[in-house]
């Protein structure tokens, strides 16, 4: 058994938030567990940031990347279709291309791992007679709500967001109505039906790999494995913790040349707040203005990745892999010149991990995408949470109320505009106040826990070994 190399195919749906952790998981399986990995990256468009990302993994021995252009669904879907519906339909229509690609790979993969949007491909795993595992790129708490949505759908009458009481998830922390995952707020939208289909797909996998670690979410992980009501939903299949799967900071000469890194080199330690809303987050004009004024009034140093405003709906931008063009003329008049000495504005895309690991950075205003959360934890940077879409409201609640490594505005960022005074207060408190220091200490413990989990003989390392052992068992029996 040990003499044969396990060949795994990893399937990623369009969008940075899934592709990044899939590439990193593949890299981890190759470099730390001696597997052979083929990554099938279904991509919607080719942008500079995407090409850069794929190129950075291309030279890894035993790791191949095959880009599969997503099927053109523009004639089937209206342009205002929700992103979750778009991705589901794209993945479904791309199945024939994935089948052809899989059949041409030599030697044939023995295992298929797909993200939550890839579960349509379970039919291919059946055809090829190989086991199929889902890689949940979010938290265990999100995973629990996701599969339990199948029960809530039958139990709850009316809209989830109209309920007053939190939703009980067996063995887990309850989820407040305003925190539910994005397609849940509107049960009448067809995106909600697709969401439930995805949840069914997860329950049909031969096992779940989750981008978390035992010490971070012990209660939820225990519930997913041992609470009868929850564990039965995933047919008592194994739950492996593989996280944190996130980019680790390794100084790269190219990045050190990056203008923003050069600017950070000149700032005092811990003095800069980094502001970024992931690969797809966009703010309204009003939000951009309030944020700009809040930053300026705080007098703190900042790096801000800015995007053109498209209103609250990120759907149209999510599949662009962070590529947004044009001048920053949507910022308040004179903002750039007034903040020239303390601020650095990056249009579109910035080297996030390099920034978070820079000594001058002391805080992060984040939309709470799970990758950003993990990158912040592993860089030991406390946060101001500004959730926008997907499961980000749950992540924000976990960070502020449970882990206590972040603060949040009083208003819900998905419902109301955060005012400049509040932004100013939060930023000052985070970067130079006592609260920031207290959070930093808690962050330190989390960071150490994360490091331990992925080190040799740490809980996630052992969990991946167990996953590989179980794969072999399934393949042979």
Annotated catalytic sites, by residue?
18, 115
Q: Which of 276, 300, 400, 413 binds ligand UDP (CB under 6 A)?
A: 276
260 scored as a contact of ligand UDP (CB under 6 A): no
Q: Which residues pair with 385 in a beta bridge?
A: 366
Q: Which residues pair with 63 in a beta bridge?
A: 37
The DSSP output letter for 398 is: I
Q: For the chain, how long is the longest CA-to-CA vector? A: 68
Question: 12 vs 71, which CB is nearer to ligand UDP?
Answer: 12
20 scored as a contact of ligand UDP (CB under 6 A): yes
Q: Which of 280, 362, 387, 409 binds ligand UDP (CB under 6 A)?
A: 280
322 scored as a contact of ligand UDP (CB under 6 A): yes
- Min dist. Cβ of residue 110 to ligand UDP (A): 29
Question: 260 vs 468, which CB is nearer to ligand UDP?
Answer: 260
Question: 10 vs 424, which CB is nearer to ligand UDP?
Answer: 10
Angle at alpha carbon of residue 392, lines to 388 and 395, rounded to 5°: 145
Residue with tokens 């009083």: 410
- Min dist. Cβ of residue 476 to ligand UDP (A): 36
User: Beta 111-114 vs 132-136: how paired, if at all?
Assistant: parallel
The answer, yes or no, to whether the previous bond of 462 is cis (omega within 30 of 0) is: no
Q: Which CA distances in Å does 380 have to 31, 140, 153, 451, 459? A: 25, 21, 38, 11, 20
Question: Within 400-439, which residues bind ligand UDP (CB under 6 A)?
Answer: none
**Contacts with ligand UDP, 324-343, as mask; x by CB under 6 A:** --------------------
371 scored as a contact of ligand UDP (CB under 6 A): yes
Question: 167 vs 321, which CB is nearer to ligand UDP?
Answer: 321
26 scored as a contact of ligand UDP (CB under 6 A): no
Cβ atoms of 224 and 173 within 8 Å: the answer is no
369 scored as a contact of ligand UDP (CB under 6 A): yes
Q: Which of 26, 171, 243, 278 binds ligand UDP (CB under 6 A)?
A: 278
Cβ atoms of 145 and 181 within 8 Å: the answer is yes
Cβ atoms of 242 and 25 within 8 Å: the answer is yes
Q: Which CA distances in Å does 391 have to 54, 117, 132, 144, 414? A: 26, 14, 24, 12, 12
Question: 191 vs 305, which CB is nearer to ligand UDP?
Answer: 305
Residues that bind ligand UDP (CB under 6 A): 16-17, 20, 276, 278-280, 305, 322, 349-350, 352-353, 369-372, 375
């Amino acid at each position: 058994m040990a003499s044969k190399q396990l060949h795994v195919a990893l399937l990623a749906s369009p969008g940075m938030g899934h592709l990044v952790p899939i590439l990193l998981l593949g890299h981890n399986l190759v470099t730390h567990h001696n597997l052979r990995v083929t990554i099938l990256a279904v991509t919607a468009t080719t942008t500079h940031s995407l090409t850069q990302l794929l190129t950075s993994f291309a030279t890894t021995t035993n790791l191949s990347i095959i880009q599969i252009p997503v099927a053109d669904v523009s004639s089937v879907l209206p342009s205002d279709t929700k992103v979750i519906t778009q991705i589901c339909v794209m993945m479904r229509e791309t199945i024939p291309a994935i089948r052809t690609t899989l059949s041409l790979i030599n030697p044939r993969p023995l295992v298929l791992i797909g993200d939550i949007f890839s579960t349509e491909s379970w039919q291919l795993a059946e055809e090829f007679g190989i086991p199929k595992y889902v890689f949940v790129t979010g938290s265990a708490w999100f995973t629990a709500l996701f599969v339990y949505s199948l029960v809530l759908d039958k139990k709850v009458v009316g809209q989830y967001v109209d309920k007053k009481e939190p939703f009980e998830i067996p063995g887990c922390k309850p989820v407040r109505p305003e925190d539910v995952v994005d397609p849940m707020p509107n049960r009448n939208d067809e995106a909600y039906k697709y969401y439930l289909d995805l949840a069914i797909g997860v329950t049909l996998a031969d096992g779940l790999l989750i981008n978390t670690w035992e010490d971070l979410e012990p209660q939820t992980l225990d519930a997913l494995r041992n609470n009868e009501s929850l564990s039965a939903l995933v047919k008592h299949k194994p739950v492996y913790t593989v996280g944190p799967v996130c980019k680790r900071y390794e100084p790269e000469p190219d990045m050190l040349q990056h203008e923003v890194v050069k600017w950070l080199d000149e700032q005092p330690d811990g003095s800069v707040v980094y502001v970024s809303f992931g690969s797809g987050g966009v703010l309204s004009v009003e939000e951009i203005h309030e944020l700009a004024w809040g930053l300026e009034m705080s007098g703190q140093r900042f790096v801000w990745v800015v995007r053109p405003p498209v209103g609250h709906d990120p759907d149209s931008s999510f599949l662009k892999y962070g590529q947004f063009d044009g001048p920053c003329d949507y910022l308040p008049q004179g903002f750039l010149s007034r903040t020239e000495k303390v601020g650095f504005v990056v249009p579109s895309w910035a080297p996030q991990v390099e920034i978070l690991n820079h000594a001058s950075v002391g805080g992060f205003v984040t939309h709470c995408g799970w990758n950003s959360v993990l990158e912040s934890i592993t860089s030991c940077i406390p946060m101001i949470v500004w959730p926008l879409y997907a499961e980000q409201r749950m992540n924000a609640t976990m960070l502020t109320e449970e882990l206590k490594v972040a603060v949040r505005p009083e208003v819900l960022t998905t419902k109301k505009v955060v005012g400049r005074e509040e932004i100013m207060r939060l930023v000052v408190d985070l970067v130079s106040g006592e609260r920031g220091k207290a959070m930093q200490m808690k962050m330190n413990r989390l960071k150490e826990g994360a490091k331990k989990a992925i080190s040799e003989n740490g809980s996630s390392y052992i969990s991946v070994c167990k996953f590989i052992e179980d794969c072999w068992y399934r393949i042979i029996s």
